[in-house]
Amino acid sequence: MANLALSDLLFVIWIPLKIAYHFNGNGWIFGEALCKVLVGFFYANMYCSILFIACLSVQRYWAIAHPLSPSEEEQ
- Asked if residue 22 is part of any domain, the answer here is yes
Residue 72 domain flag = no
pLDDT band at 75 (very low <50, low <70, confident <90, very high): low
pTM for the predicted model, two decimal places? 0.66
Are 5 and 39 within 8 A, CB to CB?
no
Helices 32-65 + 2-23 axis angle, to 10: 140
Domain hosting residue 56, numbered range: 2-65
* Residue 59 domain-assigned (yes or no): yes
Task: Tell me how many domains the chain contains.
Answer: 1
Cα distance between residue 34 and residue 8, in whole Å: 18
Query: At a CB cut-off of 8 Å and minimum separation 6, what does 52 contact?
Result: 3, 4, 7
The answer to the question of residue 44 being in a domain is yes
- Confirm whether 75 is domain-assigned: no
- How do residues 26-68 score in pLDDT, each as one tens digit? 999 999 999 999 888 888 888 888 998 899 999 899 888 888 7
